[in-house]
Amino acid sequence: MTDKYCVIGNPIAQSRSPEIHAVFAAQTGQDMSYERCLAPIDGFADTIRRLVAEGYKGSNVTAPFKLDAFRIATRLSDRARAAGAVNTLAYRDGEIFGDNTDGAGVVADIVRNAGVPLAGKRLLVLGAGGAARGAMLPILAEHPRTLVVANRTRATADELVAQFASLADGCSLSACNFEDIAAPFDVVINATSASLGGTIPPIPAVTFCQDTLAFDMMYAKNPTVFMEFAAAHGATTRDGLGMLVEQAAEAFFVWRGVRPETQQLLKDMRSKL
Ligand code: NDP
């Protein structure tokens, strides 16, 4: 019997996940379906109950339900617990397993796809919301030398750094304000939602140099304002399309135990943006 999966959000029409998972399923010969599921804003738990009753095997979860998914999970992966948010649910053995593959997606895209190892590097994360939180554990697992979190609301960055202090394992972990940045970083990850509004956090030009990889979690047909600013100051840039595909590949692996190939899909999606 075909195993059923879906992506849950509100709105959901914009989600690229069905086309990504259809390619993964065809490529790996998995008998599964994957559709969009619009959940009412106040009806996430009811939606999950219905999906479980109908025999679904799992779901991806997107805005605004990643916290609801965290709360409804009866078992969590370490990375979901650390992130405080869930983007992947698996319904199996009578439980709702919650995982978070967003951070693994960022790291896979930077390390594997862009070919930039993070070990021993100086990293700057801009933002301290859900996406930044989700990236912390996977980034620390790569053993960077320095990890600085800068956020508009300084207290949120301080809390994030305090939460992960015991997991830093030799990495110098600290928080700062955007305007405090005084020297270039090897990798700068924009995990703010500023790009959605066409703005950039007020970071100084000195944040970037010729050796910097500037990564924006957002993606669009054209480079984001953050990418343009970073490129103007010498950095190599990368958007969040690869992260999207890699977090999906990681979710696919959680569900099916098979790791799909991502490079051709990424090229095809890029050409259709
Ligand atoms: P949250 O709402 O949880 O966090 C938003 C963050 O952005 C906060 O740190 C907030 O700061 C900061 N921020 C918002 N507006 C501004 C601004 N104008 N200037 C400076 N900082 C700002 O969002 P998420 O963490 O869920 O998402 C962040 C980004 O990551 C989004 O663009 C999203 O699309 C992208 N994303 C991409 C994915 C992919 O697969 N490519 C997956 C997940 C997310 P403050 O604390 O001060 O409010």
Average pLDDT along the chain: 97
Residue 253 has a pLDDT of: 98
What would the CATH number be for the domain defined by 103-239? 3.40.50.720
The CATH architecture one would assign to domain 3-100+242-272 is 3-Layer(aba) Sandwich (3.40)
Q: How many residues make up the chain in this entry?
A: 273
Of the candidates 226, 233, 192, 228, the residue with the CA atom closest to the CA atom of residue 212: 233
Where in the sequence numbering do the catalytic residues fall? 66
185 Cα to the center of ligand 1, angstroms: 20
Give nearest CA residue, ligand 1 atom 34: 218
ipTM associated with this complex: 0.98
Mutate to test the pocket of ligand 1, among 176, 193, 225, 245 (most ligand atoms within 8 A of CB): 193
Task: Report the Cα 31 to chain-centroid distance in Å.
Answer: 26
- Please tell me the distance from the alpha carbon of residue 5 to that of residue 47, in angstroms, as a whole number: 13
Cα dihedral 178, 181, 184, 187, rounded to 10, equals -40
Percent of the chain with pLDDT over 90: 97
Q: Is the CB of 135 under 6 A from ligand 1?
A: no
Q: Do the Cβ atoms of 166 and 138 come closer than 8 Å?
A: no
Give nearest CA residue, ligand 1 atom 29: 193
pLDDT, tens digit, 9 for 90 and up, residues 154-174: 999 999 999 999 999 899 999
Pairing between β-strand 95-99 and β-strand 172-176 as defined by DSSP bridges = unpaired
User: Which part of the chain has CATH 3.40.50.10860?
Assistant: 3-100+242-272
Q: Is the CB of 248 under 6 A from ligand 1?
A: no
Q: What is the pTM of this model?
A: 0.95
Angle at 18 between CA 73 and CA 51, to 5 degrees: 40
Shortest-distance atom of ligand 1 to CA 133: 25
pLDDT, tens digit, 9 for 90 and up, residues 103-135: 999 999 999 999 999 999 999 999 999 899 999
User: Which part of the chain has CATH 3.40.50.720?
Assistant: 103-239
pLDDT, tens digit, 9 for 90 and up, residues 208-248: 999 999 999 999 999 999 999 999 999 999 999 999 999 99
Task: Report the Cα 91 to chain-centroid distance in Å.
Answer: 21
- Please tell me the distance from the alpha carbon of residue 12 to that of residue 36, in angstroms, as a whole number: 6
What is the SS3 assignment for 66? helix
pLDDT, tens digit, 9 for 90 and up, residues 23-42: 999 999 999 999 999 999 99
Shortest-distance atom of ligand 1 to CA 247: 40
pLDDT, tens digit, 9 for 90 and up, residues 57-71: 999 999 999 999 999
Edge-to-edge, what's the strand order for the sheet holding 95-99? 32-38, 3-9, 58-61, 88-92, 95-99, 75-76
pLDDT, tens digit, 9 for 90 and up, residues 242-269: 999 999 999 999 999 999 999 999 999 9
- Residue range 135-151: average pLDDT? 97
- Please tell me the distance from the alpha carbon of residue 135 to that of residue 108, in angstroms, as a whole number: 11
Residue 8 has a pLDDT of: 98
Of the candidates 220, 262, 214, 206, the residue with the CA atom closest to the CA atom of residue 238: 214
Q: Is the CB of 61 under 6 A from ligand 1?
A: no
**Binding-site sequence positions for NADP(+):** 78, 127-131, 217, 240
